[in-house]
Chains A and B, each alone.
Chain A
Amino acid sequence: MPPRVDKEKCDGCKAQHEPLCEQVCPGDLMVLGESKKAYCRSLRDCWDCMSCTKICPVGAIETRIPYQLGYHVAKLIPMMGTDSITWTCIDINGNVEHFRYKNRVEPE
């Protein structure tokens, strides 16, 4: 399920040698284009693990369900906190649901 990059929002993680999405993608799929914007080099090969979507500091990446599997247009937007994550889910009828939970606890 391919990630889409919002070209307006993506800043290529400016000073970084590799943008964060490129650093983490387990499939080596995210790359920095010539225009200094990230893109997914092979949409069909994405595993929809959402690592890129979660790590993007400017919220420029969206994971989409391919149309052949799910209808237009649902959204799932993660917001990373230091020890928690908040998700906003919007279904194809516009119904919104929020989820928030701790994803880290104090190490012992």
Chain B
Amino acid sequence: MSKNSPKNLDEIVTEIVETDLLIIGGGNAGCFAAIEAKKVSPGLRVAVMEKAHISRSGATAAGMDAINTYIPEGKTPEDLVRWSRSQVGGGPIREDLALSNAQELNGAVDDLASWGLPIIRGEDGQPEYRGKWDISIHGEQLKPIMAEKAIESGADIYNRVAATNLLMHGDRCVGAMGFGVRDGKFYVFRAKAVIVSTGGACGLYKSYTSDATSSHHQTWMCPFNVGTGYSIGIRQGAEMTSLEQRWVATRTKDHCGPVDTISVGYQSSVINAHGERVLQKHYAHLGGDKAPRYIRANAPMEEWLAGRGPTYADTTNLTPEEAKELKTDYLNERPSFVLFLASRAQDITKEPIEIYGSDPYVVGGHCQSGYWVTIDRMTTVPGLFAAGESAGGTPNKFVGGCAAEGKLAARGAVAYVASVKLPALDEAQVAKEKERVFEPLLRGPEFDGVSPLEMEERMQRLMDEYAGGITQFYRTNEERLDYALKHLKMLRSQVQYLYAKDLHDLMSAHEVIDRLDMAEALAHHLKFRKETRWPGWQTRSDYPEIDPKLDCFVESRLNKETGEIEMFTRPYEQIVPGDRCQP
């Protein structure tokens, strides 16, 4: 127990902040939301609640080497939606949302350029495309640049305050609560509208490097984004869409860094142990190197399963200059990969880069899992909006699309703010949450309980083995999911034994609590989709084929009365014409 730890609830200061618009998560989407809200409504009070420090938080903390989507001259937003749809096997996707995002996309990227982000340009001054839609950047400073603009906008930034629950007025969201991970205060934000932009959920599953290494967070997705933004909505009965469409990606082996840099940026092929070009040989009928993302993502693991691993991204055709450029790209995005190569003394022009699958993530800016939202990005909870990885329905958002959606959600929320009044503060609700939040810290040094890490590791192995993690080659079935659900319930009942030795540990305790809620909802989604629509992302070994009846959205909602998650479907609506599987 740290010497600064409080002994009882009364010692803990409650800080009440009144604002018009609260943004939870000052990442990529959150910064853009704050800037846009202040731009369209300068007099509006905007507060940002950020668990880390906005200058280096979330997915873009280390930087970026590309903006994966920027519509080139001669192409239209409809073209982008067509491509995006084909990447997820024809969907279903929310084409209304995807279109509005695409229409906003280039403007958001142009904002970044005008703020000083170096975009690599050709002699004609136009951005250099490394693939069909993605442009290269030297984005080491991407996050500091967005943060500076958010601060400049006049929004009030609350760094190191982690959200733990929404503040509700009946069914309406009127703010959020959380605690200062450094100052130990309990924070209550009262707001007319709230945007949740906490990124995706990492760490629901065990990563394969977490056993027997000193590195538990060797994950592709930012491990500090744990899905709290989803869980706080799930607990209030918000509707979630498509959680079963998990993001599983091909990543550098033993390091779990991005691979698009190599495969898109340098057209390297995936090869197996025998030097065969895997996608051409086994997936030619699905498009070879241009196959949908989940096919490409899953291919290396299928090779391992078939006894044809290891698998590589073949970089042996690169010139030394190209190899250096490739490493420069990594230094802008995931610098430790360059260190990793040096730790193997690897010359990538002679030895190809080994690749493997990642642990599964829920990321609504890549797949389409997340909150079900209206075109204004309002969730099914009035007053609660979502943007970026937190909002569902639109796959392939990435940096530009998350920024664009931040703007859209800000406009939706600003309009909503004008239509509502702030109700009186519900003291009982606040007192209850304060007690829940600090409980693990107040249990005292003699308490015989469970550490956040112990519970996290139990949950991660459970999800890995029973809910389709990487050690199981992403496969699961009805019985395993039932097993996972049973044990998730048991884990939930053990939350009462969690103890935290200090404020950092208290954050970890809440991270595991939030992950349990998220994992449960995810397991229900995986169970409901009795088919295999996106192998790797969603593989049911007991239902290996596509079921045409399930060409729809799978939805969930917590019934607050029974405490049970209820599943249902929503129909798909095609708006952009054309063959759904063709870009």
Residues A41 and B504 in contact in the complex (CB < 8 Å), given A28-B52, A47-B217, A89-B342: yes
Choose from B115, B215, B340, B342 the contact partner of A44 (Cβ within 8 Å). B215
Q: Does B428 touch A at the CB level, under 8 Å?
A: no
- Contact B343 A26, beta carbon cutoff 8 Å: no
Residues of the A chain whose Cβ atoms lie less than 8 Å from the Cβ of B327: 89, 97, 99
A28-B507, A89-B342 known; A46 vs B118 contact (CB < 8 Å): no
Flag whether B224 is at the interface (Cβ < 8 A).
yes
Shortest CB distance B222–A (Å): 6
The answer to whether B269 has its CB under 8 Å from any CB of chain A is: no
For B12, the chain A residues whose CB sits under 8 A away are none
Residues of B contacting A90 with CB < 8 Å? Answer: 342
Given contacts A24-B56, A26-B58, A78-B335, contact A104 B217 (CB under 8 A): no
Cross-chain contact of B336 among A23, A50, A97, A104 (Cβ < 8 A)? A50
Q: Is the interface of A mostly helix, strand, loop or mixed?
A: loop
A34 to chain B, nearest CB (A): 11
Question: Per a CB cutoff under 8 Å, which of B55, B214, B218 touches A24?
Answer: B55
Say yes or no: A43-B116 contact (C-beta < 8 A), given A26-B56, A63-B339: no
Contact indicator B343/A69 (Cβ below 8 Å): yes
B462 sits at the interface (CB 8 A)? no
In the docked arrangement, what's the CA distance between A87 and B63, Å? 15
Question: Interface residues of A, CB < 8 Å — how many?
Answer: 53
Q: How far is the CA of A63 from the CA of B214 in the complex (A)?
A: 13
Whether the pair A49, B61 counts as a contact (CB closer than 8 A) is yes
Inside 8 A of B222's CB, which chain A residues have their CB?
A: 26, 47, 49
- Chain A 44-71 per-residue mask, 1 if CB under 8 angstroms from chain B, else 0: 1111111100010000000101111111
B128 CB–A CB distance under 8 Å:
no
In chain B, what residue has the closest Cβ to A24? B56
Task: Decide: B61 and A51 in contact? CB cutoff 8 A.
Answer: yes
Please measure, in the bound complex, the distance between the C-alpha atom of A63 and the C-alpha atom of B328, giving whole angstroms: 17
The count of A-to-B residue pairs whose CB atoms sit within 8 angstroms is 173
Report whether B214 and A74 are in contact in the complex, using a CB–CB cutoff of 8 Å: no
- The 8 Å CB contact of B116, one of A48, A51, A91, A105, is A105
Say yes or no: A44-B339 contact (C-beta < 8 A), given A23-B53, A69-B255, A92-B345: no
- Whether A46 touches B215, Cβ cut-off 8 Å, given contacts A26-B224, A107-B116, is yes
The answer on a CB contact under 8 Å between B52 and A104 is: no
Question: Which of these binds chain A: B137-145, B433-441, B485-493?
Answer: B137-145
Instruction: Specify which of B118, B324, B507 lies most central, judged by the most chain A CB atoms within 10 Å of its CB.
Output: B118
Residues of B within 8 A of A78 (CB): 335
> Shortest distance in angstroms between A48's beta carbon and chain B's nearest beta carbon?
4
Candidate in B214, B223, B507 with the most chain A CB atoms within 10 angstroms: B214
Cβ of B236 to closest chain A Cβ, rounded Å = 26
Nearest first, the 7 closest Cβ-Cβ pairs linking A and B are A70-B343, A74-B342, A91-B342, A49-B62, A48-B336, A68-B213, A74-B343
A41-B504, A48-B339, A51-B61 known, 13 other contacts, Cβ within 8 Å: A1-B336, A25-B53, A27-B52, A48-B218, A50-B62, A50-B335, A50-B336, A55-B56, A66-B214, A68-B215, A76-B342, A91-B345, A104-B145
* 17 A-B pairs in the complex with CB atoms less than 8 angstroms apart: A1-B336, A26-B53, A27-B217, A27-B224, A42-B504, A47-B62, A50-B336, A63-B339, A68-B209, A69-B254, A74-B339, A99-B324, A101-B331, A105-B116, A106-B116, A107-B116, A108-B113
